[in-house]
Amino acid sequence: MRRPLLACLLACLTATLPLQAEAAPPPLPDRVVIDAEVARLMGATQAQGLALAIVDAGRVVHVGAYGKRNAAGAPLLRDTVMYGASLTKAVFAYWVMQLVEEGKLDLDRPLAAYLDRPLPEYTNFLTSYPWRHLAGDNRWRQLTARMLLTHSSGFANFAFLEPDRRLRMHFDPGTRYAYSGEGLLLLQFVLERGLGLDVGAEVQRRVFTPLAMARTSLMWRADFRPNLADGWKEDGSMEPHDERSKVRVAGSMDTTIADMARFAAGYVNGEGLSPAGAAALTQPHLPITTATQFPTLQPELPPARRRPDLAAGLGVVVFDGPQGAGFYKGGHNDSTGNTWVCVKASKRCVVILANDVRAERAFPRLVEFILGETGAPWRWEYGEMAFVR
Look at residue 23 in the predicted model and tell me its pLDDT.
79
DSSP string, 244-297: --S--TTT--EE-HHHHHHHHHHHHHTTTS-HHHHHHHTS--EE--SSSS-STT
Q: Are 336 and 231 spatial neighbours (Cβ–Cβ below 8 Å)?
A: yes
Tens digit of pLDDT at every position of the chain (389 positions): 344 444 444 444 444 444 445 778 899 999 999 999 999 999 999 999 999 999 999 999 999 999 999 999 999 999 999 999 999 999 999 999 999 999 999 999 999 999 999 999 998 878 777 889 999 999 999 999 999 999 999 999 999 999 999 999 999 999 999 999 999 999 999 999 999 999 999 999 999 999 999 999 999 999 999 999 999 999 999 999 999 999 999 999 999 999 999 999 999 999 999 999 999 999 999 999 999 999 999 999 999 999 999 999 999 999 999 999 999 999 999 999 999 999 999 999 999 999 999 999 999 999 999 999 999 999 999 999 999 99
Q: State whether residue 383 is helix, strand or coil.
A: coil
* Residue 163, number of CB atoms within 10 A of its CB: 5
Q: Which amino acid is at 335?
A: S
Reference 362, options 61, 66, 27, 39; nearest CA is: 39
Q: At 317, phi and psi to the nearest 5?
A: -105, 135
> What pLDDT score was predicted for residue 293?
97
Q: For the chain, which residues make up each domain, given as ranges?
A: 32-86+217-241+254-381
Distance CA 183, CA 128 (A): 15
Instruction: Please list, in sequence order, all residues whose beta carbon lies within 8 angstroms of the beta carbon of residue 233, skipping any fewer than 6 positions away.
Output: 239, 334, 335, 357
Q: Residue 210, CB half-sphere, CA atoms under 13 Å: how many?
A: 16
Nearest Cα to Cα of residue 342 among 328, 323, 357, 362: 328
Confidence (pLDDT) at 126: 81
Please tell me the distance from the alpha carbon of residue 268 to that of residue 265, in angstroms, as a whole number. 5
- In sequence order, the β-bridge partners of residue 352 are 52, 339
What residue type is 70 in one-letter code?
N
Give the contacts of 196 (CB within 8 A, at least 6 positions apart): none
Q: Give the pLDDT of residue 21.
A: 59
Single-letter amino acid, residue 242: D
Question: Which parts of the chain fold into alpha helices (H)?
Answer: 3-13, 31-45, 87-101, 145-149, 181-189, 199-203, 257-269, 275-281, 363-371, 378-382
Burial of 27 per CB tally in 10 Å (0-12, 13-18, 19+): exposed
Rounded CA gap, 71 and 73, in Å? 5
- Give me the pLDDT at residue 198, please: 98
Please give the CATH topology (third level) of the domain spanning 32-86+217-241+254-381.
Beta-lactamase (3.40.710)
In the chain, the percentage of residues whose pLDDT exceeds 90 is: 91
Instruction: With CA atoms as reference, report the closest residue to 366 among 347, 353, 381.
Output: 353
CB 179 within 8 A of CB 293: yes
Predicted pLDDT at 155: 97
Please give the angle made by the CA atoms of 341, 50 and 348, to the nearest 5 degrees. Answer: 25
Distance in Å from the first CA to the final CA of the chain: 47
